[in-house]
């Protein structure tokens, strides 16, 4: 949570202490490369790098190492739980078919934790070869010699040679992708199978200095050793993504009845698994980007060139999305290994050349809820990364490429943290806020019921004694509540904060060991309290009822912004998703074609002022086939009216979608929330009745 910003606050002087160690520093010659003319024609300051021999002291790696230890454990839990759930589902369906048709089908037995662990270890070992095979089969990279790289960027060739010679290891293998996408990624688990892949689009868009800083970030991953773990995670994620891609492609080609729907549903499940398996790796992915930026600056002493490189990559991503009509699969499937997350930067990269970046990036540096709103992002906020690069430039007394001088921590005092928690419902998305309040007030309600049941014995109220059947926090949910409580306590009473993610994982392991050593005396660690679940579900239902009208106010009573520019929408540094603006804006609807867009995960509006992500929801995405959906309108002009919600990924939640000809489509977001309210209330009531 907030602790994630510690490395993003103003860097402490300990990281910027001059050392006696000298590094080679030379002024780069920008004329060595002739990048393609940028269609945006943006005027860059071209602030210079350092010529000084001062060197920044490397930051502590304890934080990164802690996350690297916790991430494999979390990945194992998520992977094992997914396989267990899928196998139980298959066995359940198999039993039902046997009962209906009197036919014996083979049951799939549950996988053991040891088998799942062995599979993940083997996958980690072969990950570089698997990634190489996927890239070779799908995108056909070609060998890229060091001499050819030196022709494009002499500084990059020298940087790679110095890296290998200093450590007496082979040079990383270099590959080139013949694509206009701005791509650079690194994988490997040993110096002999390490590979750095770069695209022609990135080389043509950047200058000599900028290419060197990008290669510096990749060497930073190698130096920090996080590339070993990220290669394994990337290989694991390719399994469901390849199934998603293949099933969607087959569904688009098959002409038989019903089969396209079956394949479409399979692709949807695979994409959902892909997104679910990404979750435990998000913290590591964000932290490694911060550390690799610092590592690149240590190697090149040119924070301004890296700043320009990241901004130019965002421009290249946006241009390719506009040309392709959707986020290319290469950028989507390998987003963990890329320097930028496409969804996070496509609006920024699509802005006109006369729009100053500082006004748009202000939100990334000052909004108090920005870290909570970016918890599900694979990359840190670009504004914070560029702010840090500006701080590094000031270490050498350099002019900065951007003037990002203001930075505000999410909270500085304990009272500010409590204030943020209390007002979170005014800022967070409705589902996130409702789940947070359901958990908190569910505990309070369960304790209240337990006290009523406890005293009902003394008051001889036998009709209420059933409320005392279990202790309110002595169950499986309670274990996680104790863990969260300990972490919050450390935050409130200590100035030295652990990383939230690593702290939760290690505490869960510690409690599991305590349960194992207790020899059955702490069996409640795995017990289920249906009444506690019922309390949370009922509070969830009430929270959604209370906040529904505030989150989706009456459009007739709300000021309407007509055709606002994307830059104006992004410039409000205090904006949060719950305080949305009603907008009506016209443009071209972009998105994945056919079955790939089954869940509506990638709708984009291309306007005259930039790209903006759209969110259209049927009753349950697009699972209900008869519900109207904007798929036929892709690549056609439309007028969108909806709620602009500012988060780490800006989005317009569609209310109506009107084509030039045809019927106006209405989103089912409020219907989905109402359906969730009903299901939560009925489920909670059922648990109470059967308790």
Q: How far apart are CA 454 and CA 470, in angstroms?
A: 10
Q: Which pLDDT belongs to residue 239?
A: 95
Q: Which pLDDT belongs to residue 320?
A: 94
Q: Which pLDDT belongs to residue 16?
A: 37
Which residues of the chain register pLDDT less than 50? 1-39, 626
Task: Report the DSSP beta bridge partners of residue 613.
Answer: 604, 651
Domain range for residue 139? Answer: 2-26+55-395
DSSP 14: G
Residue 517 belongs to a domain: no
Extract the tokens encoding 332: 């989507």
Residue 429 belongs to a domain: no
Work out the burial of residue 437: count CB atoms within 10 Å of its CB; fewer than 13 is exposed, 13-18 middle, 19 or more buried: buried
Extract the tokens encoding 545: 């009822």
- The residues, ordered by sequence, that sit 6+ positions from 466 with a Cβ below 8 Å of its Cβ are 453, 691
Strand 195-199 versus strand 173-177 pairing type? parallel
Q: Which pLDDT belongs to residue 471?
A: 56
Cα R_g (the chain), whole angstroms = 27
Q: For 37-54, what is the HEC assignment?
A: CCCCCCCCCCCCCCCCCC
Q: How far apart are CA 92 and CA 108, in angstroms?
A: 10
Q: How far apart are CA 478 and CA 468, in angstroms?
A: 16
Residue 121 belongs to a domain: yes
Nearest to 567 by CA among 638, 655, 644, 659: 644
Q: Helices 226-253 and 113-138 sit at what angle, rounded to 10 degrees?
A: 70
For residue 473, the SS3 value is coil
Q: Which pLDDT belongs to residue 13?
A: 37
Nearest to 564 by CA among 548, 545, 587: 587
Residue 472 belongs to a domain: no
Q: Which pLDDT belongs to residue 200?
A: 95
Enter the pTM of the model.
0.88
CA 429 to chain centre: 16
* Alpha helix positions (H), 106-177: 113-138, 146-152, 154-167
Q: How far apart are CA 183 and CA 192, in angstroms?
A: 22
* CATH code (residue 559): 2.40.50.200
Q: For 628-651, what is the HEC assignment?
A: CCCHHHCCCEEEEEEEEECCCCCE
Q: φ, ψ for residue 553 (rounded to 5)? A: -70, 165
Cβ contact 230:285 at 8 Å: yes
What is the helix, strand, coil percentage profile of the chain, to 5? 60, 10, 30
Q: Which pLDDT belongs to residue 478?
A: 61
Nearest to 320 by CA among 555, 606, 690, 621: 606
Q: How far apart are CA 499 and CA 590, in angstroms?
A: 39
Residue 447 belongs to a domain: no
Q: How far apart are CA 4 and CA 6, in angstroms?
A: 6
Contacts 24+ apart (CB under 8 A), 389-392: 389/293, 389/297, 389/303, 389/304, 389/306, 389/307, 390/303, 390/307, 391/10, 391/11, 392/11, 392/16, 392/56, 392/294, 392/297, 392/303
Residue 14 belongs to a domain: yes
DSSP 332: H
Q: Which pLDDT belongs to residue 76?
A: 95
Q: Which pLDDT belongs to residue 513?
A: 72
Residue 592 belongs to a domain: yes
Task: Report the DSSP beta bridge partners of residue 645.
Answer: 651
Q: Which pLDDT belongs to residue 125?
A: 96
Q: How far apart are CA 15 and CA 33, in angstroms?
A: 33
Q: How far apart are CA 218 and CA 316, in angstroms?
A: 19
Task: Report the DSSP beta bridge partners of residue 651.
Answer: 613, 645
Extract the tokens encoding 34: 């002739």
Cβ contact 319:39 at 8 Å: yes
Q: How many domains does the chain have?
A: 2
Q: pLDDT tens digits for 281-309?
A: 999 999 999 999 999 999 999 999 999 99
Q: What is the dihedral of CA 637, 643, 647, 648, to 10 degrees?
A: -10
Residue 252 belongs to a domain: yes
Q: How far apart are CA 380 and CA 211, in angstroms?
A: 21
């Amino acid at each position: 949570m907030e602790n994630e910003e510690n490395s993003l606050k103003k860097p402490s002087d300990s990281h910027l202490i001059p050392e006696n160690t000298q590094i080679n520093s030379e002024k780069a010659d920008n004329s060595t490369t002739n990048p393609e003319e940028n269609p945006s024609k943006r005027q860059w300051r071209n602030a210079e790098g350092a010529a000084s021999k001062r060197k920044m002291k490397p930051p502590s790696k304890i934080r990164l190492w802690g996350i690297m230890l916790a991430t494999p454990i979390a990945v194992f839990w998520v992977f094992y739980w997914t396989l267990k759930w899928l196998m139980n589902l298959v066995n359940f369906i198999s039993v039902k078919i046997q009962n209906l048709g009197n036919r014996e089908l083979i049951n799939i037995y549950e996988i053991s934790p040891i088998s799942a662990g062995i599979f993940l270890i083997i996958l980690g070992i072969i990950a570089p070869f698997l990634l190489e095979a996927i890239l070779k089969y799908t995108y056909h990279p070609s060998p890229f010699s060091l001499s050819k790289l030196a022709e494009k960027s002499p500084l990059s060739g020298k940087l790679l040679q110095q890296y290998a010679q200093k450590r007496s290891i082979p040079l990383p293998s270099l590959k080139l992708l013949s694509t206009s996408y701005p791509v650079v990624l690194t994988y490997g688990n040993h110096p002999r199978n390490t590979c750095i892949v770069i695209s022609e689009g990135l080389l043509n868009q950047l200058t000599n200095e900028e290419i060197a800083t990008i290669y510096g970030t990749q060497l930073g991953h190698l130096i920090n050793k996080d590339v070993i773990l990220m290669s394994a995670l990337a290989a694991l994620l390719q399994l469901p993504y390849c199934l998603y891609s293949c099933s969607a492609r087959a569904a688009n080609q098959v002409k038989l009845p019903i089969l396209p729907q079956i394949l479409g549903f399979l692709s949807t499940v695979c994409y959902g698994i892909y997104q679910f398996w990404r979750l435990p790796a998000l913290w590591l992915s964000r932290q490694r980007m911060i550390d690799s930026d610092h590592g690149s600056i240590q190697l090149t002493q040119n924070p301004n060139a890296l700043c320009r490189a990241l901004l130019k990559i965002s421009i290249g991503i946006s241009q390719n999305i506009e040309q392709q009509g959707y986020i290319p699969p290469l950028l989507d499937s390998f987003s963990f290994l890329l320097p930028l997350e496409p969804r996070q930067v496509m609006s920024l990269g699509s802005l006109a050349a006369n729009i100053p970046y500082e006004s748009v990036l202000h939100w990334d540096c000052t909004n108090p809820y920005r870290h909570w709103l970016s918890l599900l992002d694979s990359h840190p906020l670009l504004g914070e990364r560029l702010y840090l690069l500006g701080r590094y430039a000031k270490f050498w007394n350099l002019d900065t490429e951007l003037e990002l001088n203001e930075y505000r921590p999410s909270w500085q005092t304990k009272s500010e943290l409590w204030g943020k928690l209390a007002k979170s419902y005014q800022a967070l998305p409705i589902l996130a806020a409702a789940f947070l309040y359901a958990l908190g007030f569910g505990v309070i309600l369960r304790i209240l019921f337990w006290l009523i049941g406890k005293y009902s014995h003394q008051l001889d109220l036998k009709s209420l004694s059933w409320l005392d059947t279990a202790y309110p926090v002595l169950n499986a949910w309670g274990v996680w509540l104790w863990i969260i409580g300990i972490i919050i306590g450390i935050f409130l009473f200590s100035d030295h904060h652990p990383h939230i993610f690593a702290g939760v994982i290690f505490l869960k392991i510690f409690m599991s060991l305590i349960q194992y050593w207790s020899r059955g005396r702490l069996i409640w660690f795995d017990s289920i309290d249906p009444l506690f679940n019922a309390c949370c579900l009922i509070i969830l239902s009430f929270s959604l009822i209370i906040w529904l009208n505030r989150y989706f106010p009456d459009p007739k009573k709300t000021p309407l912004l007509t055709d606002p520019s994307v830059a104006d929408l992004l410039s409000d540094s205090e904006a949060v998703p719950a305080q949305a603006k009603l907008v009506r804006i016209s443009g071209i609807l972009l998105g994945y074609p056919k079955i790939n867009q089954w869940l509506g995960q990638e709708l984009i509006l291309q306007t005259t002022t930039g790209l903006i992500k759209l969110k259209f929801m049927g009753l349950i995405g697009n699972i209900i086939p008869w519900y109207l959906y904007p798929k036929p309108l892709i690549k056609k002009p439309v007028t969108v009216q909806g709620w602009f919600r500012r988060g780490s990924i800006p989005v317009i939640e569609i209310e109506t979608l009107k084509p030039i000809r045809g019927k106006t489509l209405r989103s089912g977001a409020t219907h989905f929330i109402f359906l969730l309210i009903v299901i939560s209330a009925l489920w909670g009531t059922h648990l109470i009745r059967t308790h």
